[in-house]
Amino acid sequence: MRHGNVLGLTPNALLGFKDGKPWTVFGTPGGDAQIQATLQYFFNVAVFQMTPQQAVEAERFLIWSFPDSFWPHVYTPGRMELERRFAQKKSQLTWKAEGIM
């Protein structure tokens, strides 16, 4: 590790505990998106009480306010991507944002 170097991400697996006992196992491939996708899955199951299948199928969003790990290392501060399925629920959204792709 050196200043200015970025550590590469690899597919990851996580083990979640509840009441001190193993409760769920999950993970995802996906380059720069994997940390965000993994966290969204966990919140969907742990907070929003979705089944694992529902959590996997739920709409996702990605925030790209950091340089891409892959060539050409695109940097787009403030950029947010919503999966197309969000459009189906557009009327349910109560907020506005600029730069949504």
- The pLDDT tens digits of the residues spanning 17-31 come to 999 999 988 888 777
Mean pLDDT of 36-51: 92
Q: Is residue 53 part of a domain?
A: yes
Give the per-residue pLDDT at 100: 47
- Give residue 72's domain range: 12-92
Beta-strand (E) ranges in the chain?
12-18, 21-28, 61-63, 80-82
- Alpha-carbon radius of gyration of the chain: 16
pTM to 2 decimal places: 0.70
Give the per-residue pLDDT at 10: 63
Mean pLDDT of 37-46: 91
Q: Is residue 101 part of a domain?
A: no
24-55 in b/e form (b: 16+ CB < 10 A) is eebebeeeebbebbbebbeebbeeeebeeeeb
Q: Is residue 38 part of a domain?
A: yes
Q: Is residue 48 part of a domain?
A: yes
Total domains in the chain come to: 1
Q: Is residue 1 part of a domain?
A: no
Instruction: Answer whether 79's CB lies under 8 Å from 65's CB.
Output: yes
Instruction: Answer whether 69's CB lies under 8 Å from 9's CB.
Output: yes
Q: How far does CA 28 lie from the centroid of its chain?
A: 10
Q: Is residue 2 part of a domain?
A: no
Q: How confident is the model at residue 63 (pLDDT cuts 50, 70, 90)?
A: confident
- For the chain, the average pLDDT equals 80
Give percent above pLDDT 90 in the chain: 24
What's 36's domain CATH number? 3.60.20.40
**Cα–Cα distances in Å, from 54 out to 17, 28, 42, 71, 95?**
20, 15, 12, 33, 24
